[in-house]
Structure 1
Amino acid sequence: MTDDLTTQPGGNVRAAILLLTVGERLAADVLRYLDPPEVHKLGMAISRMKTVSRQEVSDTLAAFMTEARDRLPLGIGSEQYLLTSLGDAVGEDKAREFVNQIMAGRLCGMDAVRHMEATTVADLLRTEHPQIAAIVLANLKPGHAAEVLSLLPETQRPELLIRIANLEGLPPAALKELDAIIDQKVSDAPGIHSSRVGGIKAAVDVINRLDRPLGVDVLDSIREENPELGGSLDEALFGFEDLENVSDRDVQILLKEVSTDLLVKSLKAADERLRGKFFRNMSKRAAQLVQDDIEGTGPVRLSDAEEAQKEITRIARRLAERGDIALGAREAYV
């Protein structure tokens, strides 16, 4: 059904929203059944996606359910179909909660807040009563709550943490009241209805879960059609810091292709562990000369050091494409 979406006006974007909604694991399972050109189009759509309104997500899911209902055998409802589809990806309880939200037509209350970016939640809570803000934070995942808290004024943080620590269970009526308060605040706040989805990281998360041949084909197609985007995906899939995880043998092969000047510039901005990785795979004399150059040369602009790191990473990728070295877990896509 996802491949049908891609043939409709705006279908690539709708399909991308659907795949991002169900998560990268289930999305990768779906993509394995599509042809490489279709996967390529969806990958491009995901990587270019920035913000999607809550209404767009709701409309996309509603359209998917309508099409599913029309295509299912008699006696099978779209609600059950979606429950089954999502169950393996997010668990039965979460799938039931998610489907209930879809059937209601939109995400609301705390469910909406859990899908918002930390910056958006912080904007909502900045002027809210501390007790309400504490309850909201307590109902977020710890990582999400911590990010929101870090964005709130420093003077508010201790009080909020004290209130969170002193919180006890809330009765259902209080939770319903909280949802109503949040809905009202969201409806009154301009620009609060959109959240960040997609982008390079989301595309990389999906690519990393694809089978090797499909991932390679898709990346090759993207590089050919959009070299700049392909380069961004390459850098996200494997960066200079990932060379720390490459085998000593392969680092030695890489060093034969890298000039001393390029290496010195790149290591100016590298941490001690990565420097040590390179030094261990050089002769003692060569390592000492490079160390002397790093310490003896004047300051290097950060942009120049980063460009040197990117060039060494590009050399590593070329060696990997030729089969001369392996770049670890992400080798399939570099």
Structure 2
Amino acid sequence: MNTAESTQKQNKLNPVEQTALVLLGMGEDAAAKVLRHFSRDETQRVTRAMAKLSGIKSDNAHRVIQSFFDDFRQHSGIRGASKEYLSNTLRKALGNDLAKGLLNNLYGDEIRNNMQRLQWVDSEILARFIADEHPQMQAIFLAYLPADSSSDVLKHLPQDYHDELLYRIARLQDIDHQIANDLNDLIERCIEQVSVTQSAPLSGVKQVADIINRFQGDRAALMEMLKLHDENVVEEIEENMFEFLVLGRQTEETMDRLVQEVPLELWTVALKGADITLQQAIKRSMPQRMVKALEDEMQVRGALPLSRVEQSRQEIMQIVRELSDSGEVELLLYQEPTVE
């Protein structure tokens, strides 16, 4: 492969994939420290890219990593000062009052970064953890959490003083150095406790449904064998098999009806990144003019956020569920055996 071709292959890696490659080259400990400073969405996108990276040649990896260090050298300067050094220096330069305001802003940014780590903790666990804290500390804790996480935590706290907590949050303007330290200690204790006591959530039924949906063998025979164990469990499995992937195994009659009911806009987004056989199964039920419009629109849109694609798929499956519940289409979760 010549230099031009190698550069072209490197350029095919998007920024998220390049970040994933650099993290993989750092080793586990260093990569973990970097990931702590990412938001929840950034962490999900980068770790997903890390899991999918394969077949990257060493010279291409070297170019990506070298590019990172070149950029680092251009932007890096003197290392940051410690809190104590910064605090003493600012107080000597500006006096206590001015230094206090500046330090509070700096510590506030640090707290917000630490709070990002708590996005991964279940809101009910966070609520239980802060339940015995002073209301003012609870208010500060909620104020620094991302708004959606804070709202979820509030739901699990006693309803009779929701108004007091919200009023305390509304009155917050800044927090002093000592309270910032107390809050950081609270965050660290929360993370430490969760790491010790919280087990990883797992839905066995959902996992089995995902396995069967992707099983290449005789799904019907497998489901019949499972019924011998427990028919109720099989019903739960079938409920969880109700996902976008099953559209690839529907009858022509069912797909014709779905194409009529689902707007082209939804198909355009939902089919982004879908398996090619699934795309072909859906396109076979579309008029040629509609297929052309679909493909043109998908190309124009380019890359889309995964969350938006998933939402469109869910909207389509809701339409499918309504048609199935009303008896207007017959949905096949798996091909059942037939007799003449």
Tell me the TM-score range normalised by the shorter chain.
0.3 to 0.5
TM-score normalized by the length of structure 2: 0.36
TM-score normalized by the length of structure 1: 0.36
Q: Which is greater in Rg?
A: 2
Higher relative contact order (CA 8 A, sep 6+): 1
